[in-house]
Structure 1
Amino acid sequence: MFNIALIQPQSFELDNGLQLTLAGDFSRSRPYCAIVFLAKCGLYTETDENNGITHALEHILFKGSRKYSNYDITSIINSRGGSIDAFTTSDSLGIEIIIPPRHLGDALEVLSQLALKPAFPENEIELEKKVIIEEMRFYRDDPEDLVMLKLEKACYKDSCYSREILGTKKSVSGLTKKHLTDYHRDYFTPSNCTLTIAGSFDAQTAFSCVERNFGHDAWPAASSPAKNTDYMLAQNSDESFFIRRRGKFTQNYYAIGFTTPSSLENKHIYSMFLPYVFSSLKSSPLLYSLKDEHNAVNGMTTDLVFKYGMWMITVLASYSPARSGAVKSAIGNFIANASRFVSENYFESIKKCFLLDYMQEIENPRTYCGELSTFNHILGAGSYNYVVKTLLELEYENFIEYLRAHVETSHYKRVELVSAPAKKREIKARPVTPLIERINDFNFSHTPAAGDCERRFILKKRPRNSRQAPEIIKIDERSTICSIADPEADYSTLSLFIKGGVSSSFKPGDANMLAELFGRKTAGSSMYDNYMLSDSRGIYFDCNSFLDYFKFEAVTAGEWSAEKVAYLDSLFEGFHFNGSMLKKAAASVKNMIKAIRDDVFELSFWGFLTSLFERTAYGKAVFANAKALKNIGGDDILKYYSQVRSSPFISFAVSSPSGGAGLISGGFKSLIKRAAPQNARAEFPGGFEAPVFEREIKSSQAQCTIVAGSAAPSFTSPDGAAFSAANYILSDYAGKRLWNIREKHGLCYNIFSEYIPLGLGGAFFCYANTSAEKLELTSAKIAEELERFAQEGPSASELAAAKTQLIKRFENSVSFSSAASRLLGQYVFYENNGRGYFDYTGAVKSLTPKIVAEVFRKYCPPGRLSRLKILAG
């Protein structure tokens, strides 16, 4: 059905047994390569006594090698415009490097040292054990992590996968240097590891570099790895588990999970479509029924968890306690009747969405390398392309047969986290028959014929290095189009930045309510009909209200067409809602606020921003005004929407194989060439007086959080580049400014800083998770480091590394036409001309240590640091 030009990676086995995969077919416009090294070890190579040793080894590998210190490892990669990171899964320890192609040899040499010749410094081992125990507490504060940990224990009961990747406090405390060195020796062997490289590079040169750095002499002497096989056993029973955390969280969480054999048999490959069936599409019957029709859930996600032997399919929902019965019943009914909910047209929508996901995956060497290495690791070389082709060639009848045989009859585990008992009679689930009838009776005559869709989704070989320079086209006094034509692109994007957002609210919450209502019901179509219309066209859109703008985004495979653009325009022209939808939107926004309060980072982030911007238009952010939602009526939404459509400035950002500016300017009649109010201002008034505050929020978290920061440059400020460099130096691991608070003192598990430029001004904050007894000391150390930087500024070497990284990150981002058009559209939105986009590299290159120090001191002077403390419950 689909003619796809798949990337054809080359697989090799070195003489010593190392599996190597090279995918060098990427466009030369991608300025970097991705490298993923995987060792086959994890829960299935651990015991109860050393549980967590794989994750602990990941931490210790970055403490230096026999040749390089921990600082050398990161600084060598960063100084060449790259980045390095590591991760642990239930069955692998991975190291990832992103690097420009010309430095591939240097990256492989550093990777060889890091992975194969670690130093295992005794004092660092003891420090990291304490940090890992703090990390365990951190994850206990996330309700979704709690539920998923329990679900894995249930689905893999009595097997190695029922243990936790982090281990236990007892098992991690007992680890010694000998345990770690022996474990590394046993499992970091050539035949037990894989190396994958993706990007634009010469395969022969890459192969020679690998042989030089990963040949026979590079590896430690090894014994034969021992591995468990108990994860191969399926748990064929239905069981329910409860986690009671009354008062700790604001919502209930419910998850179901079932396993399926990990193999290349078709009936098991088909399970990769299940996330699309359950919740990945707007027209997913289960998601629509629970979220849009009955407003029963705040959020719902479906995932396929790759593991050796048995994969796990999970569905996770969050909801108010009163909805518990309805949610659990609806999910159970859906699983029992899954085949009835998947019509032939919906099945085609699933394939279109899968194809678009694949297109976006293969254009990015980093994403593709990660997927390719995972498939090679779990299913073997060549499995990735085989799976993609199998799924796109899958026939509807075969998929329905799979649903009936393997999903509707599945034995699944259930885990519910109960935050509070229901305060009123539980809302019951409604019958599923009416929705099934609606799906079967839906009229698809308004969508393109199946044959037309197939022709549009054929992928062809594109000419290389043919992307055109960005265009900025002024349509009228209030509308500008930023267009990028990229013949190599296989899909098209559209982003609208409409001046508005929270800063233009009439009442706190009206912007968030509009974002919930928009794109659902229109004057001519019901909510569910609109969802099916967009999914059947292969158009996926979303809208959100940010502090400065109302943002609408859409993506489609292939080109934008007049018919697709007209459909998107109809969402604006025919925007409609009723009283029931208004109530549901208000409830959804309230649930969003509850989700923020349940999230460790979001609570800290919004708590700090609310205090920093309380005297500005951003003070109308709904997080600080939840009670105001009850005062918002239908007229308030229409008044705010009228302002959005008549916004004084709209930036359209479009990318496609041929540009698409003409289609957008001619097709968006609902927004283009509308008159703006006479008193409306297209520009933002720069600067604001930020308060200095010391505040506390009492939470139910197990850990404490400190957030310290100040005001920062606005998006259009000439100080932005200097402040970005300061933030990089403070936050980045190689810079070792803030990171030293973790590394040298062991005061916190997680610490970083962030700079957020906005229209009225910017925000800068440092964030750290720590225990109650270390909170004050951590806070003092952060203030001490920031004050020292404000007084001394960066060293020449620190700034040089920061400039290299900032420029490379910018180049990497804009190498994708979709990302480049969005970024250009954002610059045009704030500046009206996009000058900052084109001048970014030059602005960064011109920085000096003196300029960075002066700019940082200007916004974050000693004694003007604000602090927010999230106290443990």
Structure 2
Amino acid sequence: MFERHKLSNGVRVIVEHIPHVKSVSLGFWIGVGSIHENSKNNGISHFIEHMLFKGTTNRTAKQIAESIDSIGGQLNAFTSKECTCYYAKVLDSHLPIAVDVLSDMLFNSTFIDIEIEKEKSVVLEEINMYEDSPDDLVHDLLSKITFSNHSLGSPILGTNQTVGQFHREMILEYVANNYTCDNIVVSVAGNIDQQLLLSLLEEKFAQYTNKIKVPDTIEVPNFTKNSGHRYKDIEQLHFCIGLKGIPQGHKDLYPLLVMNNVFGGSMSSRLFQNIREDKGLAYSVFSYPSSYSRVGMMTIYAGINPNQLLEVTKLISEEISNMKEKGLTEEEFYKSKEQLKGNYILGLESTSSRMTSMGKSELLLNRVFTQKEILDKIDSVTMEDVCRVTHDIFNLQYASVALVGKIDNEQGVNEILKF
């Protein structure tokens, strides 16, 4: 069972004591991601994530890494559309070291000019690496065309042009505006001495009183029906269809998850069994929902031979029609709910998963659901709920299509939207 605390400076702390493990996962969550950026600073949230590992007033970059490596722990970070997380996983006896290192990175990073220039090269190589991963690139392209002219469609890494323009003053201003007390959540799961933990956090956060948070002026993204393609001289064609989904916290999220399991969310799903197993037309084919604070998207992906694009599109269209007209069988409905519960419960065996679930939920929804509440939400899904959500999701007037591979305008990309 988790407990919620608030430090004297207003930072929220979510703690779950798990006495039967020997590890602790600690995450510092910041409510800033690529959605908070603009055309001039796109990628800066991710760039700052990199820079926090480049040295503080107390540690060099090497000493930051050695501090956790030397105790057999893990130290990492990630940036998403809506948040940034810095996290460590260590033995319970080493919790003070993890708190010290992460707080040092958060509050004392130096952002030296020479390190900024070096890290630009690193991030530009990361962008180049991403360009060489068409199965990732196609999902970014789908977001770009679907949420056109909105920051939700911007790449998390930024672009060569925007990253090249970053400088120290820009970074410091962005940190001051977004790394604020009310925009930080500390999430901790594992074998924790809570009194020690809160004492350590109070000590490290006591002098941090930044509350300059810029008002949230992000407009609700419009879901746009669109199409786009990137020509790449590769053997496989990477193909995505995007449909209007469900935002975070919405009551229809769990019915959507139940439906997606059957449609394309697993190896036993209809898409996988039909297109890969029965027809042998794709190595990888699946669907998944993405939920953000104000909007959601349902994505269907396939990696195929370019010559089989129309056939695979037809098969996906048939599966969508079948889903809308006939719905789920009772057996599929039952198995999907059990699968969801099983995946959720198995995930709870990892302190990292628990820390992530609590931190993200508190940061983006201002609340954390108990295990019983989650399981009850899955159990309470009815066949009528799934039927309603199926018809809402598979509304092709919102469908967008993105393709990466050997394709050009002459192949009639826009025709695919008429399926």
TM-score by length of 1: 0.45
The reply on whether 1:218 has 2:208 as its aligned counterpart is yes
Q: How much has 1:63 moved relative to structure 2?
A: 1.0
Q: How much has 1:226 moved relative to structure 2?
A: 4.1
User: Where does residue 860 of structure 1 map in the other structure?
Assistant: none
Q: 1:305 to 1:153 in 2, by over 3 A?
A: same
Q: 1:152 to 1:50 in 2, by over 3 A?
A: same
Bigger relative contact order, structure 1 or 2, given CA contacts below 8 A and separation 6+? 2
Q: Which amino acid aligns with 2:208?
A: A
CA distance in structure 2 between the aligned counterparts of 1:122 and 1:294, rounded to whole angstroms: 56
Q: 1:344 to 1:143 in 2, by over 3 A?
A: same
CA distance in structure 2 between the aligned counterparts of 1:293 and 1:305, rounded to whole angstroms: 28
Is the 8 Å Cα contact of residues 56 and 110 (structure 2) preserved in structure 1?
A: yes
User: Where does residue 76 of structure 1 map in the other structure?
Assistant: 67
CA distance in structure 2 between the aligned counterparts of 1:366 and 1:182, rounded to whole angstroms: 31
- Give the alignment partner of residue 404 of structure 2, picking from 407, 413, 417: 417
In structure 2, list runs of 5 or more residues that go unmatched.
Answer: 409-419
- Give the alignment partner of residue 32 of structure 2, picking from 33, 41, 52: 41
User: Where does residue 355 of structure 1 map in the other structure?
Assistant: 341
User: Where does residue 222 of structure 2 map in the other structure?
Assistant: 234
Is the 8 Å Cα contact of residues 271 and 316 (structure 2) preserved in structure 1?
A: yes
Q: Which amino acid aligns with 1:281?
A: S
Q: Secondary structure at the match of 1:87?
A: strand
Q: 1:283 to 1:103 in 2, by over 3 A?
A: closer
Q: Which amino acid aligns with 1:218?
A: Y
Q: How much has 1:112 moved relative to structure 2?
A: 0.8
- The RMSD of aligned alpha carbons is 2.0
Is the 8 Å Cα contact of residues 44 and 160 (structure 1) preserved in structure 2?
A: yes
Deviations 1:545-592 (A, max 9, x none): xxxxxxxxxxxxxxxxxxxxxxxxxxxxxxxxxxxxxxxxxxxxxxxx
Is the 8 Å Cα contact of residues 20 and 196 (structure 1) preserved in structure 2?
A: yes
Mapping of residues 195-210 of structure 1, within 5 Å: 195-210=186-201
Mapping of residues 643-682 of structure 1, within 5 Å: none
Mapping of residues 451-466 of structure 1, within 5 Å: none
Mapping of residues 269-668 of structure 1, within 5 Å: 269-339=254-324, 340-383=326-369, 385=371, 386-408=373-395, 411-419=398-406
Q: 1:376 to 1:334 in 2, by over 3 A?
A: farther
Is the 8 Å Cα contact of residues 25 and 87 (structure 2) preserved in structure 1?
A: yes
User: Where does residue 411 of structure 2 map in the other structure?
Assistant: none
Is the 8 Å Cα contact of residues 336 and 409 (structure 1) preserved in structure 2?
A: no
Q: 1:20 to 1:390 in 2, by over 3 A?
A: same
Deviations 1:207-252 (A, max 9, x none): 222222223x135x4422243422x2332x533322222xx21111
CA distance in structure 1 between the aligned counterparts of 2:374 and 2:365, rounded to whole angstroms: 10
Q: 1:172 to 1:83 in 2, by over 3 A?
A: same
CA distance in structure 1 between the aligned counterparts of 2:193 and 2:226, rounded to whole angstroms: 53
CA distance in structure 2 between the aligned counterparts of 1:302 and 1:406, rounded to whole angstroms: 12
Q: Which amino acid aligns with 1:72?
A: Q
CA distance in structure 1 between the aligned counterparts of 2:400 and 2:322, rounded to whole angstroms: 18
Q: How much has 1:72 moved relative to structure 2?
A: 1.9
Q: 1:419 to 1:44 in 2, by over 3 A?
A: same
Q: How much has 1:35 moved relative to structure 2?
A: 0.9
Q: How much has 1:167 moved relative to structure 2?
A: 1.1
The reply on whether 1:168 has 2:159 as its aligned counterpart is yes
CA distance in structure 2 between the aligned counterparts of 1:222 and 1:305, rounded to whole angstroms: 31
The reply on whether 1:142 has 2:133 as its aligned counterpart is yes
4+ long deviations beyond 4 Å? none
User: Where does residue 13 of structure 2 map in the other structure?
Assistant: 20
CA distance in structure 2 between the aligned counterparts of 1:410 and 1:388, rounded to whole angstroms: 33
Q: How much has 1:206 moved relative to structure 2?
A: 1.8
Q: Secondary structure at the match of 1:291?
A: helix
Is the 8 Å Cα contact of residues 258 and 386 (structure 2) preserved in structure 1?
A: no
Mapping of residues 829-868 of structure 1, within 5 Å: none
Q: Secondary structure at the match of 1:303?
A: strand
Q: How much has 1:411 moved relative to structure 2?
A: 1.7
Q: Secondary structure at the match of 1:249?
A: coil
CA distance in structure 2 between the aligned counterparts of 1:390 and 1:312, rounded to whole angstroms: 21
Q: 1:155 to 1:274 in 2, by over 3 A?
A: farther
Mapping of residues 762-781 of structure 1, within 5 Å: none
Q: How much has 1:374 moved relative to structure 2?
A: 2.1
Is the 8 Å Cα contact of residues 43 and 165 (structure 1) preserved in structure 2?
A: yes
Q: 1:242 to 1:127 in 2, by over 3 A?
A: same
Q: 1:271 to 1:380 in 2, by over 3 A?
A: farther
The reply on whether 1:93 has 2:65 as its aligned counterpart is no
Q: How much has 1:410 moved relative to structure 2?
A: 6.3
CA distance in structure 1 between the aligned counterparts of 2:259 and 2:114, rounded to whole angstroms: 47
Is the 8 Å Cα contact of residues 243 and 396 (structure 2) preserved in structure 1?
A: no
CA distance in structure 1 between the aligned counterparts of 2:215 and 2:35, rounded to whole angstroms: 9
CA distance in structure 1 between the aligned counterparts of 2:221 and 2:298, rounded to whole angstroms: 16
Is the 8 Å Cα contact of residues 264 and 383 (structure 1) preserved in structure 2?
A: no
CA distance in structure 2 between the aligned counterparts of 1:405 and 1:181, rounded to whole angstroms: 44
User: Among the aligned pairs, what percent are the same residue?
Assistant: 21
CA distance in structure 2 between the aligned counterparts of 1:323 and 1:184, rounded to whole angstroms: 48
Is the 8 Å Cα contact of residues 41 and 187 (structure 1) preserved in structure 2?
A: yes
Q: How much has 1:73 moved relative to structure 2?
A: 1.6
Q: Secondary structure at the match of 1:301?
A: strand
Deviations 1:236-277 (A, max 9, x none): x533322222xx211111111123342433123432334412
Q: Which amino acid aligns with 2:377?
A: T
CA distance in structure 1 between the aligned counterparts of 2:137 and 2:393, rounded to whole angstroms: 27
CA distance in structure 2 between the aligned counterparts of 1:228 and 1:142, rounded to whole angstroms: 33
CA distance in structure 1 between the aligned counterparts of 2:266 and 2:61, rounded to whole angstroms: 44
The reply on whether 1:9 has 2:9 as its aligned counterpart is no
Pair member with larger Rg: 1
CA distance in structure 2 between the aligned counterparts of 1:378 and 1:274, rounded to whole angstroms: 24
Is the 8 Å Cα contact of residues 266 and 286 (structure 2) preserved in structure 1?
A: no
Q: 1:388 to 1:48 in 2, by over 3 A?
A: farther
Q: Which amino acid aligns with 1:113?
A: D
Is the 8 Å Cα contact of residues 243 and 393 (structure 2) preserved in structure 1?
A: no
Deviations 1:691-736 (A, max 9, x none): xxxxxxxxxxxxxxxxxxxxxxxxxxxxxxxxxxxxxxxxxxxxxx
TM-score by length of 2: 0.91
CA distance in structure 2 between the aligned counterparts of 1:269 and 1:378, rounded to whole angstroms: 17
Deviations 1:86-142 (A, max 9, x none): 111111121010011111122111111101221111111111112211211110011
Q: 1:42 to 1:95 in 2, by over 3 A?
A: same
Q: How much has 1:371 moved relative to structure 2?
A: 2.5
Q: 1:289 to 1:384 in 2, by over 3 A?
A: farther
Q: Secondary structure at the match of 1:298?
A: strand
The reply on whether 1:108 has 2:99 as its aligned counterpart is yes
Q: How much has 1:420 moved relative to structure 2?
A: 6.1
**How many equivalent residue pairs?**
406
Q: How much has 1:39 moved relative to structure 2?
A: 0.9
CA distance in structure 1 between the aligned counterparts of 2:248 and 2:382, rounded to whole angstroms: 20
CA distance in structure 1 between the aligned counterparts of 2:330 and 2:396, rounded to whole angstroms: 21
Q: How much has 1:336 moved relative to structure 2?
A: 3.5
